[in-house]
A and B are shown apart, each in its own frame.
Chain A
Amino acid sequence: MNFTLKIWRQENAKAKGRFETYKVENISSDCSFLEMLDILNESLISNKIAHPVCFDNDCREGICGMCGLYINGRPHGNDDGVTTCQLHMRKFKDGETIWIEPWRAKAFPVIRDLVVDRTAYDKIIQAGGYVSVSTGGVPDANSILVSKDKADKAMDAAECIGCGACVAACKNASAMLFVSAKVSHLALLPQGKVEAANRVQKMVEKMDELGFGNCTNTYACEAECPKLIKRSNIARLNREWICARVGKEK
């Protein structure tokens, strides 16, 4: 398969970026999107055309959350429930022009080319996305009772890999789906419930401080999340917030 790539190139955080056009040929339809970029980079290096295109990646199994490209108007491209590394070239038409952009958000500044700084997510987690005390090893099966329903919901929320597609997809660059997933997976379980009220307030305050936008319930985040995190988590975050604020002691 042959493709024309329009890739965002930017020397560094302060440089002015631009789109560059590259052509890639004889790409296997079983090639992943990142492998296709590897092939492009090899040709850029060997033919000394330009500096290779920088992009984030790590596990290439769809579980680490490192990769993330805005491809033809969709975070992680035109497939549902997959990360960029799990997107395959068979999802594109032969000869297609593919626009590749970095995540765009004030809180995710571009470092170089397609690489963005997602430290903001770490800061939100550091603000309260944890359980303060060590909960020890695996407890006996029935020592802490958790209903199947809650365990399932907590696990679903814990699937979030923090890739940032929700922010990238949201027209407001809001991080509500990410924060809600982190708040939910802890608040739903007994070990996390103890600090739930404090946690939700600290994480939301940090999220606001970092310059993410506000959720307007458009649900582009849900549509683009590679782990299919649901909007019901955002509603739970709102509930947790209301309960925390109403019950707040001065």
Chain B
Amino acid sequence: MNLPKIASISRKILVACVGLFLLVFLLVHMGINLCLLRPDDGEWYSIACNFMGTNYIIKVFEVVLFAALIAHIIITVALQIQNWKARPVRYHQPSKSKTSAMSKTMIWTGGLVFVFLALHFVNFYFVKLGLVEGKYMIQTEHALSSSELQAKYMAYTQGKLSPEEMATFQTEMEAVQGLMIKAESEGLYSDDMKWIRNLSAEDVKPVEGIVEGIEPDFYNMAFELFGNKVYSVIYLILFVALAFHLIHAMQSAFQTLGLNHNKYNKFIEGFSWVYAIIIALGFAAVPVYIMFFV
């Protein structure tokens, strides 16, 4: 993995810029996660997920985010391989130079964060992409008033449907009614009645293509996942790796961008520690809450 035409410092600057962007993203993600802890039966959380899943600016940023993440991984791995090659014969004695453990283990903590991301994608993000089955939710108003269904209903009342169309319409209506009955009998409505939640893949299959706005139900998926103590502990361990990575990441990015000044160095270092710990604690809050308080 050689990128010969880009100078070492340029590559590092790219890694730093992308890293700072990812740091900001983590703050946004953490903010949404913390909505889970509000005792509002997931109202805020669902709104946030809905916004993130449907807003066009966010959709553009989703592409930018993945490009950034992939660039960050590819460039850092390429740099690391060069770094290993730069010392073909290792020292016999381990280094006793005064350095921080975080700065020396970035590639390994980064690797653990990658493992975390892979696990996290399988648990959550792939459900959104339809690669893995999870839990789903539908906005109640969508379920009741799909524009296509309404148009068909109008045609039906005016007797304009052909016998085949009548048959399909009836099956579709039955499917939607079936969903509503299930929601009613099993109490799947959210407190504010805006959402029918906790639906399985089998539940939503009959209404796919009929009802608009079927979304992954991350709220119930999170509660189910973190109800499993093994998963919670794995997530918590990986958050520690993330904190280690971020403590060095931010101050290192500033240095790479040339932002080093005697007056502000202490502040930048302190801010990196505080930011990393807040992010890690913020993310850890959800599994800890579900593990011990639900």
Contacts and interface: CB of A to CB of B under 8 A. Distances in A.
B87 A223 contact: no
14 contacts: A72-B96, A73-B93, A73-B96, A101-B91, A104-B89, A105-B86, A106-B87, A204-B8, A213-B87, A214-B83, A218-B100, A218-B104, A232-B262, A245-B10
Given A216-B103, A217-B103, A238 B97 contact: no
Contacts of B262: 232
Contact of B7 (A19, A204, A232): A204
Instruction: Point out which of B10, B88, B256, B258 has the most chain A C-beta atoms below 10 A from its C-beta.
Output: B258
A242 B89 CA distance: 33
A160 interface: no
In this complex, the member of B10, B87, B258 whose beta carbon has the largest number of chain A beta carbons within 10 angstroms is B87
Dominant secondary structure at the A interface: mixed
B248 A217 contact: yes
B98 interface: yes
Interface of A: 6, 8, 19, 70, 72-75, 78, 99, 101, 104-107, 169, 171-174, 201, 204-205, 207-208, 211-220, 223-224, 231-232, 234-242, 245
A208 B89 contact: no
Contacts of A242: 13, 257-258
Contacts of A105: 86-87
Nearest to A171: B104
Interface residues of B, number: 40
Contacts of A220: 95, 97-99
Contacts of B9: 204, 237-238, 241
A72 B90 CA distance: 14
Given A19-B92, A106-B85, A242-B258, A169 B13 contact: no
A70 B85 contact: no
A238 B93 contact: no
B97 A74 contact: yes
B11 interface: yes
B159 interface: no
Contacts of B167: none
Nearest to B249: A217
B39 interface: no
Given A218-B99, A238-B255, A238-B257, 5 more contacts: A73-B95, A173-B87, A216-B79, A218-B103, A238-B258
B79 A214 contact: yes
Contact of A223 (B90, B98, B256, B261): B98
